[in-house]
């Protein structure tokens, strides 16, 4: 049994992940029938991966509770997917499947490293899943989110300022504080407020004075994060602001000027902050400080090179040799034990989520919904880029988590909230489009009937037949003439998304 777990388990893990990723890309451009088939097969792959991974770890560690924990995770993920589909017929199940798959991957790897932390991660994930299941009930109230422009800015700045003044120092950075023994990282939730703030503000007006105000607010957010030595968070906020501003205005000069100013700010940070200089030096040559500052990145590179295509197998590597591996270097640990193929599929899965959000945002005519979905997509993919890029020595280490995969309660819960809003927006737009489609077909059939009456005069015999009825054929024809041309929706109000129909 142990020989099986070591020899064949890793190939089944790689195969299930490879098939899941392939189905995600098949489903992305497909129609409803093909998409639903792919989504069902994806959940099958998710189940195979979870059961196989926890069974392998239970056999090799000789701990039955690991397999029980794996069954609990499987019931939670598949149950959440079933409830999401059952409660909301118009739900984006591809997004939900991808969220649950990345969560499963993370909990599998965290369980292998530290089972107690995996239990905490699962408990927090229950709260996040509950939000995703319950929040869409309020989707008809989503338009009210547009009214909190200044509240989002003030609340975000206040939260970041509180951490700067009162937060505890963790690994040289002030990024969290504790209340009643529970540690929070406010920047993860402020990221949601920041996206909402920009989406609200830029869907109203794009005057120069207004953009100057938004830029000042963004500088305050980024500046506080820099003073807190949260380099990764500052980069995410800056990129989100720059991209949303560009998408809202369509002006390349804003993007170019922003990138130039960002490059100047990066150079200034190098000379002003010692921790930035250390991270740049580690990027350029980690081997000279392998016993000190370069230890993490060198161990990460060793782990990645040790994994090979299919990995060493669960419980066969040494991921714990990397400090803070479950939070900062989870990707390296995954490649070490699950293989390079699995790691590439995980990157492709992140890109699939990003592409799905971009396609959704591009189809929305409501500017607020479009900007929020774009902002969420940018925040997600850029955070994934910072994490993976730092672990493979492509960019300096930033200390941010890989969304839904790395250990970190604030990060997981904030990601669920951020994606939950995107899912509710999708449902709302789908339902409005369905109502619009029905009304469009009703009016179109009425117009065709009117044209048919105009082409064929009413016979005298037929007039006599209908003379005693409530509405004769002549009266019905006059009704459709009066109805013709009545608008079927009011732009900017109930039925906003009309891009899918040629009218």
pLDDT tens digit sequence for 304-333? 988 888 988 888 888 888 888 898 899 999
Band (pLDDT 50/70/90 cuts) for residue 184 is confident
Q: What is the pLDDT of residue 477?
A: 53
What pLDDT, on the 0 to 100 scale, is given for residue 14?
93
pLDDT at 279: 86
Q: What percent of the chain is predicted at pLDDT more than 70? A: 84
Least confident of 23-27, 61-65, 96-100: 61-65
* pLDDT value at residue 365: 83
Average pLDDT over residues 251-260: 90
Least confident of 338-352, 378-392, 450-464: 450-464
**pLDDT band at residue 1, thresholds of 50, 70 and 90?**
low
For residue 79, the tally of other CB atoms under 10 A from its CB is: 11
Q: Does position 449 have pLDDT exceeding 80, yes or no? A: no
- pLDDT score recorded for residue 132: 93
**DSSP assignment letter at 503:** -
Across the range 186-208, mean pLDDT stands at: 87
- pLDDT over threshold 80, residue 16: yes
Mean pLDDT score, 335-363: 94
Kindly report the pTM of this predicted structure: 0.85
pLDDT of residue 351: 96
Res. 352 pLDDT band, cuts 50 70 90: very high
Dihedral sign, Cα of residue 49, residue 52, residue 55, residue 59: negative
| pLDDT band at residue 147 using 50, 70 and 90 as cut-offs | confident
pLDDT at 173 over 70: no
pLDDT at 179: 65
Res 3: pLDDT: 61
Angle at the Cα of 377 from the Cα atoms of 178 and 97, rounded to 5 degrees: 85
pLDDT of residue 467: 47
The domain limits of the chain are 2-433
The two structure tokens encoding residue 93: 């199940």
Res. 149 pLDDT band, cuts 50 70 90 = confident
Token pair, residue 393, equals 């020595």
Cβ partners under 8 Å of residue 381, min gap 6: 350, 351, 353, 354
pLDDT at 85: 92
pLDDT tens figures, 466-499: 444 444 455 555 544 444 444 444 444 444 444 4
In Å, how far are 90, 283, 502 from 362, measured between CA atoms?
18, 37, 17
**292 CB contacts (<8 Å, ≥6 apart)?**
none
Quick one: pLDDT band at residue 167, thresholds 50, 70, 90?
low
Query: Residue 345 region, left (φ>0) first, then alpha (ψ -120 to 50), else beta?
Result: alpha
216-240 b/e (C-beta count within 10 Å ≥ 16 → b): ebbeebbbbbbebbbbbbbbbbbbb
- Residue 177 β-bridge partners: 184
Residue of 36, 41, 92, 46 whose CA lies nearest to 73: 46
Banded model confidence at residue 38, pLDDT cuts 50, 70, 90: very high
The DSSP call for residue 167 is P
Residues 6+ apart with CB under 8 A from 76: 122, 125, 126, 129
Q: What pLDDT does 118 receive?
A: 92
- Evaluated on CA atoms 243, 245, 249, 253, the torsion sign reads negative
- Contact predicate 86/422, CB 8 Å: no
């Amino acid at each position: 049994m142990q020989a099986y777990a070591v020899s064949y388990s890793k190939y089944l893990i790689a195969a299930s992940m490879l098939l899941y990723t392939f189905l995600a890309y098949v489903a992305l451009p497909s129609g409803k029938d093909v998409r639903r088939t792919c989504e069902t097969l994806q959940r099958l792959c998710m189940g195979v991966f979870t059961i196989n991974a926890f069974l392998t770890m239970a056999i090799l560690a000789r701990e039955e509770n690991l397999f029980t924990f794996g069954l609990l995770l499987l019931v939670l993920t598949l149950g959440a997917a079933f409830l999401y589909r059952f409660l909301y017929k118009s739900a984006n199940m591809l997004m939900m499947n991808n969220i649950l798959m990345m969560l499963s991957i993370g909990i599998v790897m965290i369980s292998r490293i530290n089972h107690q932390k995996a239990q905490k991660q699962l408990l927090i994930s229950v709260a996040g899943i509950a939000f995703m299941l319950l929040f869409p009930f309020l989707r008809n109230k989503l338009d009210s989110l547009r009214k909190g422009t200044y509240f989002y800015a003030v609340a975000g700045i206040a939260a970041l300022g509180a951490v700067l003044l009162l937060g505890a120092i963790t690994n040289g950075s002030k990024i969290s504080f504790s209340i009643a023994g529970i540690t929070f990282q406010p920047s993860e939730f402020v990221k949601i407020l920041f996206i909402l703030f920009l989406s609200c503000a830029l869907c109203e007006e794009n005057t120069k004075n207004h953009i100057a105000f938004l830029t000042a607010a963004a500088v305050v957010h980024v500046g506080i994060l820099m003073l807190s030595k949260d380099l990764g968070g500052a980069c995410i906020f800056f990129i989100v602001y720059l991209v949303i501003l560009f998408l809202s205005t369509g002006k390349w000069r804003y993007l170019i000027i922003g990138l130039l100013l960002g490059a100047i700010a990066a150079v200034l940070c190098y000379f002003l902050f010692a921790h930035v200089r250390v991270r740049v030096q580690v990027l350029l040559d980690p081997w000279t400080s392998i016993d000190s500052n370069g230890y993490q990145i060198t161990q990460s590179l060793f782990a990645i090179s040790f994994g090979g295509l299919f990995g060493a197998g669960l419980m066969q590597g040494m991921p714990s040799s990397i400090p803070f591996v479950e939070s900062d270097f989870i990707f390296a640990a995954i490649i070490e034990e699950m293989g390079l193929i699995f790691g590439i599929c995980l990157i492709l899965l992140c890109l699939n989520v990003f592409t799905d959000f971009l396609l959704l945002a591009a189809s929305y005519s409501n500017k607020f919904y479009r900007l929020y979905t774009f902002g969420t997509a940018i925040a997600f993919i850029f955070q994934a880029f910072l994490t993976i890029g730092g672990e493979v020595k492509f960019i300096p280490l930033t200390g941010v988590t890989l969304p839904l995969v790395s250990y970190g309660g604030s990060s997981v819960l904030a990601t669920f909230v951020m994606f939950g809003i995107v899912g509710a927006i999708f449902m709302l737009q789908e339902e409005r489009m369905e109502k619009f489609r029905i009304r469009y077909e009703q009016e179109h059939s009425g117009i065709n009937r009117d044209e048919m009456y105009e082409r064929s005069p009413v016979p005298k015999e037929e007039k006599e037949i209908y003379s005693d009825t409530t509405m004769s054929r002549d009266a019905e024809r006059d009704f459709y003439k009066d109805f013709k041309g009545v608008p079927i929706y009011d732009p900017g109000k109930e039925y906003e998304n009309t891009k899918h129909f040629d009218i």
